[in-house]
Amino acid sequence: MDHILSWICFLPLIGMTAVILAPKGNNTLVKAISLVATGVPFLLATWLYFSFDKTTASYQFVQRFDWIPLLGAQYYVGIDGLSIALIFLTTLLLFIAVPASFSIEKAQKAYYALLLLLEVGILGVFISLDYFLFYVFWEIMLLPMYFLIGIWGGPRREYAAIKFFLYTLTGSVLMLVAIVALRLDSGTFSIPEMMNLARSGQLTGASLPGGGQLIGLEFATWIFWFLFIGFAIKVPVFPFHTWLPDAHVQAPTPISVILAGILLKLGGYGMLRACFPLVPTAFRESCFALGVLGVVSIVYGAYVALGQTDFKRMVAYSSVSHMGYVLLGFAALTEWGYYGAATQMFNHGTSSAVMFLVVGVIYDRAHHRDLNGFGGLAQVMPRYWALTTLGFFAAMGLPGLAGFVSEAMTLVGAYSAPDPVFKLFVLISVIGLVITAAFLLWAIQRVFLGNLNEKYKDYTDMSPREIFCQAPLLFLCVVLGIFPFFLLDWMEPSVVQMVDFLKTAGS
Amino acid sequence: MKFDPSTDFGLLLAVLLIPLIGYTIQIFFGKKLPRQGDWMLTGGMGVVMLITVYLAIKAIAAGAHGDGHAVDFLHSSQDHGFAFKWLFDEAKGPGLLNVVAGILYDPLGAVMLAVVGIVCFCVHLFSIGYMQGDRRYHIFFANISLFSFAMLGLVLADNILFLFLFWEIMGLMSYLLIGHFSQDPSNPFFHRWATWASKKAFLTTRIGDCLLFIGIFIFYREFTTAWETVPAFKEALPRFQPFLFTDMWEMGRLVVAQNGGEFPAWMTAAGLCCFGGTIGKSAQFPLHIWLPDAMAGPTPVSAMIHAATMVAAGVFLLGRMYPLMSPEVLAVVTVVGATTALFAATIGMVVYDIKAVLAYSTISQLGFMVAAVGMGGLVAGMFHMVTHAFFKACLFLSAGSVIHGCHHVQDMRLMGGVRKHMPVTFVCMLVCTAAIAGVYQFSGYFSKDAILLAGWASVLDNAVFSGWNLYALISLAIAAMFTAFYMFRLIFMTFFGEYRGNLETHMYSAQIAAEGVEGPEPHAHDDHHGDEHGHDAHLPHEAPLRRNPMTISLVILAVFAVPGVAALLNGWITHLMTPLSMYGPTAGAFAAEKISEGILDHDSHLGRQAHYLAVGVSLFVATAGIVAAWFLYVRRRDLPEVITTKLGLVYTAVRRRYFVDEMIDIAFIQPTLKLTTFFRTFDEKVVDGFVLLNGSIHKGLAFFMAWIDKTIVDGLVNLVGLVSQAFGAATRLLQTGRIQQYAAFAVAGGLLLASWLILS
Amino acid sequence: MEPSSKIFYGALSLLTLAALGAGLVAAGAEGLAFGLFSVLTLGGALVCIWERSVVRSAFSLMATFLGIAGFFVLLHADFLAMAQILIYVGGILALILFGVMLTPPDLTERKISRVLGGLVVFGLGFAWVGMRVAESATWAVTEKGPAEGVNNAKRIGVGFLAADQYVVAFELAAVVLTVALVAAVYIARRRRADLEPMEGQGGGA
Amino acid sequence: MGLGAYVAVSAALFALGVVAIIVRRNVLYVLMGIEMILNAANINFVAFSHFQGGALDGRMFAIFTIILAAAEAAVALAIVLNVFYLFDSVRPSEADLLRE
C-alpha cells in the first residue's frame, strides 16, 4: 500500500469520471457512484488512521518523484500527525455530504461530479508536501466550491459565490506571490526542505534583490503576512470573515457542512504546515498580533452570532468564534495551545457540521431560517430536538463532549504562554464561552421550546437518512470527549516537534 | 471493616457506572421498557445507595477506632494503579501534559457520597409517584439518573479537571430538568417560565463556571512553572500532576512554605476565581438569582438541586480547595456567605410561594455553609451540608406533596389546615422544619450549632480574629432567627388554620387581588390528576396508596432529622472529618494552620467557651423565631399586615427581592444585548461595508474605464469612421456588420501602426 | 449585366493586357507567365469580391488558387503546386461550394459603395504601406538562384519523416486535421431538439 | 522575375483578402477572404524559400498552412451552417450575440 495516499486522493477523481460518463437521467446510479467514490476513500482513510505510526514525527506514506522538472515541482506527498486526523475528517464529511445531498434535485450529475472534484482538491492539500502541488490543489478546490455555491445555492447565490471567490482568490494571489518569492530564495518547492533552510536561518531572502529587505521590512515578515492573510481568509479570521456568513447562508446544506467542516480547517492547517514553519522568526514576532486577532474573532464572532435572527447565519458566525480558538492556540506557542488548536480544528469540524445539518433539516421542512419564526418544535420532532441539543452542547464546549477538550487545552495553553498578555486574552475569550452558551441556548429555546406554531404541526421527525448523516458526527463528539487520546496520541510527536521547531528555528 | 482498595475502588466505580449505564439504556430503549424503565433506574439507584451507605459505614468505623478520629483516611485510586488516562493513552511520566483521572475517597467524599446516594434514591422513588402521567416520563428518569451520576462523579473525581467536567454535566442536566416542562403545553405547569428559568440557570451558573475555569488555569500555570523551576519541588513531588487534588494541596503547601509562610498574590486571585465557581453553583450573592427560578422544574428536581446535587457541589468544591485558599480569599468567602445568608433570609420572610420560601431558605442555608468554611468551620460547613441535604430534600418533597395535594397551588395564602388532610406529610415537614430552624436535638441544631461555634471561636481567638468574622457571626445569628421565623411561618400558614383554597374571600384576598397569586396560576378545574379525586371535594389529600413511594421517600429522609439519629450523625461526622483525615497528614496540617484552635479541638478552653456561647445563641434565636412566627401567624393574624404597612418601602424592596434581578438586567443583560446589536450592525455595515466599498470602488473604476473606452477610445475610432466618410461610400462599412467591423478596425489599426512606424 | 459590372470587367480586361504586356517586356517568356498568373490570382480575387453571386465568387476564387499554383511552378515548387491544386481546388473549394449550396442565396447583401469604398481605402492603404516598405526593405536573399533539378517531392517527404526535421509537426498536423474533421462533423450535425422553432423557415438543407 | 514582384503580388492578394472579409455581408466571403490571406502568405513562404537557394523550411510551412487551411475550412463551414441554423441568416452582422 505504498500509494495509499494517492489512492485516497484520486479515487474521487475516478468517481467523478464515472459520474460524468453515467447515462443521462440515471440519478440513482450517479448517487450510488458518488457514495462508493466517497465511501471507499473513507474506509481507506480509516485503515490509514489505524496503520499510522503514532510514535514518530516524520512523514509517513511518502511518495516523491519529479513532476515538472522545469520548475522543480515534485509530486511529493506524505502525512504526519498534523494531517492524518484532518484527512479522516475530510473523507468522513464528504461521505456524509453525499447522502445529505440526496434532496438536491437540480443538475445532479454535475453536482456530484463537482463534489467529488472538491474532495480531490481538499485531500490533495492535506497530503501535499510540495508547495507547488499544495497550491495547485488549493486552486482546484476553489472552483468546484464556486460553482456549488453559485449554482445550487439560495436566492443570493451569485453574490455569495462571487464574494467567496474573490475573497479566496485574493488570498491565493497573496499566497502565490509569497510562494514564488520562497521558491526563488530557497531554490526548492519542497516544504520540508524549506523548513530545514528556515531552521538554520537561511530562508531570509538574502539571495533576492534587496538582500532580504523590502520597503523597510524583513523579507520573512512580508512572506509571513502574505501567507498568513491568504490562510486567514480561509479560516476566517476577523476582519476577513465577511464572506463566510454569505457563503454559508446561500450554500446548500451539504456544501455548508463541507465549508464549515473542512474548508475552514484548511486555513488553520495551511498556517501550521506552510506558513509558520517557513518563517518562524517572523511568526514569533507576530504572536501578539495573532493572539489579538484570535481573541477578537472569538468574542466578536460570539457577539455577532447572538445578534442574528437567521439560524444559519448564527451558526456561521459561531464558526468565526470557534476558529478563533485555533488562532489563539497557535499564537500561544505552547504545546497545549497546539494540541488544543489541532483538536479544535477536528472537533469544530464535527460539531459545526452537525449544526449545519441541523439547520438543513429544518430548512428542508420550513423553507425559511428565521429563528423567531419557529417555536415548540420539540413537541413534533423530539428526536430532532435531542440530536440538536447534543450537537449544540458539543459546540458549546461542554465537558464530556469533544469541544471541551480542545477549548480547555487551547485556553490552558494560551494561559501558560510565555507572553503574559495572553493571560488577559484568556480572560477576554472566556466571555466568548458565556456568549456562545447564550446564543445556542437562545436558539434552542426559540426553535424548540415554547408554543408550537400551528403551521408546523404536521412536520415529520428526522428521517433515517438525516439521522444517518448526523449520528457518526455526534458519536465522534461524544467519544472524543471521553477518549480524547484517539486524537491526541496521533498528533503528539508531530506537535511536540512542531512547537519545538517554531520556538527555536531560525535564531 | 477497613477500606480495602482491591474491592472497594471497584464498588466506587460501580457507583458511577450504574447510573451511567442506566441512563444509556433508558435514553435509547426507555420508552419500550415496562413502566417506561422507572423501576430499572430506581433500582439501580437503590443499589448505588446501598453501596455508598456500606462504604460510608466502613469510613465511620475507621473514624471510630483509634484515638477517636480518623486520621490518614485518604484513598487515592491512582496509588493502586486504578486510573483512567484521559488525554493521552500512554502515561507521559511526571510530565505536565497528562491528565490521569482516578477516584479520590476521603471522609468528605465518603459522607457526601452516601448523602447523594440516599437523597437521589429518595428522589427517584418520589418521582415514580409524582411524575406519573407525564408525557416525557422516561426522559425525566434518564435525566435525573445522569444528574445523579454527575454529582457522584464530582464527589469521586480526584482531579480538578474532572471535577469541572462533572460540574458542567450537572449544569447541563439542571438545564434540561428545570426546563422539563418547557416543551409540553399539555402539561398544566408553567412551561413558558420553565424555558426562561432553565436558560437563566444555565447561563448564570456558567458565569461562575468560567471563573472556576480561569482559577484552574491559574493554578495549573503557576504550579507547573514553580515545579519546573524550583528543584526542591521536583524532589518533593517527583510524579507531579498539576490537576490532581492531592498534588495541588501539596504544591500549595510547598509554595507557601517557600514564600515564607505567606500566600502569594496569585493564589489569592486563583482562589477567588475558584470561589466564583461556588458563587455560581451554590447560588451565593449576586449569582443567586437562578435558584428561586429553578423551582420552575418539577418538584423532585428542585429537591435534587437544592439538596444533594448542584448547590452542594459549590460547597463541596470549597471543601476540596480549602488548603489552597489564602486568608484573604477566606475573608471574602466569609463575607459573601454571611451576606447571602442574611439577605436570602429576609426575602424568605416575605414570599408566599411555598417553593420560593424553601428556595430562599436554601440560599440562606448555603450562605451558612459558605460562611462557616470561610471562618474555619470546615467540618461544620460540610456537616451542615449533609444535614441540610436530608431535611431540605424532605422539605421540598413534602412541599411537592402538599402542592400535589392542593391541586397545584403554590401560594401559601391559598392553603391552610392541610395538617388534617395530610398527616404523614405534616409530620415529616414538621420534623424537618424543626431541624432547619435549629430546634434542640434536631439535626439542624447540631450543624448550626457547629457553625456558630466556629464563628465564636474565630471571633474569640486572637490568632485568627478579623472584623469580617464578627460581621459574619452577627449576620448568621440574625439569619438563624429569621430562618426559624419563616420556616414556622410556612408551617403555620400551610398546615394550621382552615383550608383557604375553596374560599372566595378570606384574609389574604385583598393582597392577592393586588399582587396576584405567586407561583403558577392554579388550574382550577382541568386537573390532570382529576381521575384520583372528585372535583367536588376541593380539599387537600394525602397521596393515594398507589403513590406510596412518595410517602416512603419522605419518611426515609425525615428520619435523618429526628433527634437521636441526628446526634449519632453528629458524632460520626465529627469523628470522621478532620483536616488531617480530609487532606492527608501534611496538607491537612497545612490547612489546619488557618483554622482556630477552638474549632479543631472542642475540649480546649477556647472550644468550650465558644461551645457554650454557640448553644446559647442558637437556642435563643430558634426559640425567638418560632415564638414570633406563632405569635404573628397563629395568635395575631392581623399583625403581619400592620407590620408590612409600617415598613413601607423596606418591605417593598424585600418583596421585590432587592431588585437584584432588575439591577443585573440593567447592568449586564441589557448592555450585552446592546453590544450584540452594535456588533452585528458593525459587522454588517462597517466590516462588510468596507469590503463592499472596496468592491464598489473597483466597480466604479471599471465603469470609469469603460466610459473612457466608450467615449474617448471608441470615439477616436468613430472619428476614423468620420474621416472615412469623407471618402464617400466607405462610411457604411464602419457602421454595419459587427464582426467585420472589428476586423476592419484591426486592419485599420495595423495600417495605422505601420504608418506610424514608417513615418517616425 | 448591370452597368457597373460592365465597367468593372472592362477595367479588368485592360488591366490583364497591361500586366501581360509589362511582364513580357520586363522578363520575356517568364515574365509573360508571371503576368498571366498574377492576373489570374489578383483578378480572381477581385472578381470574387465584386461578384454578386456567391457561386461565381467561389469559382473565381478557383482562378486565384490556380494562379498561385502557377507561381509555385515558377518558383520550382512543383510538389506544392500540385498540392495546391489538389487541396484547394479539389478540397477547400468544394467545401465552400457545399456551403454555398447549403445556404440560401442572398443577392441583396452586396453594396457597391461598400465594395468600392473598401477597395479604395484598403487598396490605397496597403499600396502606400507596401511602397514604403519596398523602398526601405532589403530582402534576405542569396542572389544566386536555386539549385536546379532537385527532386522536390522527395525532399519534402524526407523532411516530413526524418527524425531531426518535421516529423513532430507532421504528426501534429495530422492529428489536428483529424480532430478538425471530426469536430466539423460534430458541429455540423443538425440537432433536431435545438432547432425545433426554426423548422418551418430554415429547413434549407 | 525578382522576389519583389512576388512579394508585391502577395501583398495585393492579402489586401484583397482583407477587403473580402470586410466588405461583403456573407459569412462565406469571410471564409474566402481568409483563404486568400493564407494563400498570400504561402506565396511569400515559397518565394523566399526559392530565393534563398531552395531552402526547405518555407515550403514545409506552406504545406502545413495548406493542411491547416483545409482543417479550418471544414470547421468554418460547419460553423457557418450552424450559424445559419441558429440565426436563419449567413450575415455575420446578424450573429451579434457577442454584444450581449
Q: How far apart are the first and last CA of chain B?
A: 116
Q: In degrees, to the nearest 5, what angle opens at C-alpha A430 toward C-alphas A427 and A434?
A: 145
Residue B282 has pLDDT above 60, yes or no: yes
D8 close to B (CB below 8 A): no
pLDDT at C151: 60
Specify whether B583 is located in the same domain as B701. Answer: no
Enclosing domain of residue B751 = 661-759
pLDDT category of residue C193 using cuts at 50, 70 and 90: low
**Contacting subunits of B (3+ beta carbon pairs below 8 A):** A, C, D
pLDDT category of residue D40 using cuts at 50, 70 and 90: very high
Enclosing domain of residue C178 = 151-192
> Exposure of B522 by Cβ count < 10 A (0-12 exposed, 13-18 middle, 19+ buried)?
middle
Question: Is residue D49 domain-resident?
Answer: yes
Q: Among A93-97, A138-142, B475-479, B724-728, where is mean pLDDT lowest?
A: B724-728
Question: Is residue B353 domain-resident?
Answer: yes
* b/e per residue B693-704 (b: at least 16 CB within 10 A): eeeeeeeeeeee
Q: Which three cell numbers stand for residue C185?
A: 462533423
- The enclosing H or E element of B83 equals strand B83-85
Q: Is the omega angle on the peptide bond into residue A236 within 30 degrees of 0, that is, cis?
A: yes
Q: What's the farthest any 2 CA atoms get from each other in chain B?
A: 130
CATH of the domain at D85: 1.10.287.3510
Specify whether B655 is located in the same domain as B677. Answer: no
pLDDT at C21: 85
Sequence-ordered list of residues with C-beta below 8 angstroms from that of A211, at least 6 positions apart, any chain: A205
Specify whether B624 is located in the same domain as B681. Answer: no
Residue A146 corresponds to which amino acid? Y
Answer whether D35's CB lies under 8 Å from D28's CB: no
- β-bridge mates for residue B353, sequence order: B411
Question: Is residue D99 domain-resident?
Answer: no
**Residue B132 CB-half CA count within 13 A:** 19
Specify whether C69 is located in the same domain as C164. Answer: no
pLDDT at B532: 44
Nearest to C115 among D23, D36, D73 (CB): D23
Answer whether B316's CB lies under 8 Å from B155's CB: yes
Q: In degrees, to the nearest 5, what angle opens at C-alpha C136 toward C-alphas C134 and C140?
A: 80
CA distances from A57 to A60, A496, B29, B134 (A): 9, 8, 45, 56
Report pLDDT digits (tens) over B526-558.
Answer: 444 444 444 444 566 665 655 567 788 888 888
Give the whole-angstrom CA distance, residue A76 versus residue A81: 17
CA-nearest of D44, D3, D40 to D18 is D40
Residue where the block lists cell 516523491: A64
Answer whether A380's CB lies under 8 Å from A453's CB: no
Phi, psi at residue A73, to the nearest 5°?
-80, 140
Q: Do C121 and B730 touch (CB under 8 A)?
A: yes
Specify whether B735 is located in the same domain as B626. Answer: no
Answer whether A261's CB lies under 8 Å from A355's CB: no
Crossing angle for the helix pair A485-504 and A464-482, to the nearest 10 degrees: 60
Give the whole-angstrom CA distance, residue B560 versus residue B447: 13
pLDDT at B726: 61
Number of structural domains chain B divides into: 2
Give the whole-angstrom CA distance, residue A290 versus residue A273: 16
- β-bridge mates for residue B411, sequence order: B353
pLDDT at B229: 86
Question: Is residue B424 domain-resident?
Answer: yes
Report pLDDT digits (tens) over A27-67.
Answer: 889 899 999 999 999 999 999 999 888 888 888 888 888 88
Specify whether C2 is located in the same domain as C69. Answer: yes
Hey, what's the torsion of the CAs at B408, B413, B419, B425, to 10 degrees?
40
Answer whether B334's CB lies under 8 Å from B381's CB: no
DSSP designation for D24 = -
D24 close to C (CB below 8 A): yes
Specify whether C86 is located in the same domain as C173. Answer: no
Question: Is residue C29 domain-resident?
Answer: yes
pLDDT at B523: 46
Question: Is residue B23 domain-resident?
Answer: no
Tell me which chain A residues have a C-beta less than 8 angstroms from the C-beta of B677.
307
Specify whether B606 is located in the same domain as B685. Answer: no
pLDDT at B96: 60
Report pLDDT digits (tens) over B227-266.
Answer: 888 888 888 888 888 888 888 888 888 888 888 888 888 8
| Helices within A128-211 (DSSP H only) | 131-152, 157-186, 191-199
Q: Decide which of B194 and B311 is more confident.
A: B311
**What average pLDDT does the segment B689-696 reach?**
78
Q: Decide which of B200 and B133 is more confident.
A: B200
Residue where the block lists cell 489512492: A7
Question: Is residue C80 domain-resident?
Answer: yes
- Is beta strand A217-218 parallel, antiparallel or unpaired with respect to B104-105? unpaired
Residues 51-90 of D with CB under 8 A from C: 51-54, 56, 59-60, 62-64, 66-75, 77-82, 84-86, 88-90
Tell me which chain D residues have a C-beta less than 8 angstroms from the C-beta of B738.
92-93, 95-96, 98-99
Name the minimum distance, in Å, from the CA of D85 to any CA of chain C. 7
Specify whether B268 is located in the same domain as B380. Answer: yes
C131 close to B (CB below 8 A): no
Specify whether B728 is located in the same domain as B638. Answer: no
Enclosing domain of residue D80 = 3-93
Cβ neighbours, 10 Å, residue C78: 14
pLDDT at A295: 92
Give the whole-angstrom CA distance, residue C61 versus residue C73: 19
- The enclosing H or E element of A73 equals strand A73-79
Tell me which chain A residues have a C-beta less than 8 angstroms from the C-beta of B683.
242, 300, 304
Specify whether B282 is located in the same domain as B430. Answer: yes
pLDDT category of residue B95 using cuts at 50, 70 and 90: low
Specify whether C94 is located in the same domain as C3. Answer: yes
Sequence-ordered list of residues with C-beta below 8 angstroms from that of B225, at least 6 positions apart, any chain: A416
CA distances from B741 to A250, B735, B737 (A): 43, 7, 6
Q: Do D22 and B743 touch (CB under 8 A)?
A: yes
Per-residue pLDDT of chain A (507 residues; tens, 9 = 90+): 678 888 888 899 999 999 888 888 788 898 999 999 999 999 999 999 998 888 888 888 888 888 888 788 889 999 988 889 999 999 999 999 999 888 888 888 889 999 999 999 999 999 999 999 999 999 888 888 888 888 888 888 888 888 888 888 888 888 988 888 888 888 888 899 888 888 888 877 777 776 667 776 778 888 889 999 999 988 888 788 888 888 888 888 899 999 888 988 999 999 988 888 888 888 888 899 999 999 999 988 888 888 888 888 889 889 989 999 999 999 988 888 899 999 999 999 999 999 999 888 888 888 888 888 887 787 788 888 888 888 898 888 888 888 888 888 898 888 888 888 888 898 888 888 888 888 888 888 888 877 777 778 788 888 888 888 889 999 999 898 888 888 888 888 898 889 989 988 877
Q: Do C49 and D16 touch (CB under 8 A)?
A: yes
User: Mean pLDDT over all residues of chain B?
Assistant: 80
Q: Which three cell numbers stand for residue B317?
A: 468544591
CA distances from A289 to A341, A424, B72, B575 (A): 17, 14, 51, 57
* Most confidently modeled range among B148-157, B740-749, C171-180: B148-157
Which of D22, D90, D96, D97 is the best residue to mutate to test the B interface, defined by the most B CB atoms within 10 Å of its own CB?
D22
Residue where the block lists cell 423557415: C201
CA-nearest of A168, A298, A282 to A222 is A282
Q: Do D95 and B743 touch (CB under 8 A)?
A: no
Sign of CA dihedral B617, B623, B626, B631: negative
Specify whether B604 is located in the same domain as B720. Answer: no
Specify whether B228 is located in the same domain as B282. Answer: yes
Residue D63 corresponds to which amino acid? I
pLDDT at B734: 47
Number of structural domains chain C divides into: 2
Number of structural domains chain D divides into: 1
Residue B729 has pLDDT above 50, yes or no: no
Answer whether B304's CB lies under 8 Å from B310's CB: yes
Question: Is residue B102 domain-resident?
Answer: no
Specify whether B588 is located in the same domain as B732. Answer: no
pLDDT at B655: 78
Helix, coil or strand: residue B514? helix
Answer whether A359's CB lies under 8 Å from A312's CB: yes
Name the minimum distance, in Å, from the CA of C3 to any CA of chain D. 20
Residue where the block lists cell 502525512: A79
Specify whether B619 is located in the same domain as B508. Answer: yes
pLDDT category of residue D48 using cuts at 50, 70 and 90: confident
- β-bridge mates for residue A93, sequence order: none
Please say which residue of B618, B639, B660 terminates a domain: B660
Phi, psi at residue B193, to the nearest 5°?
-65, -40
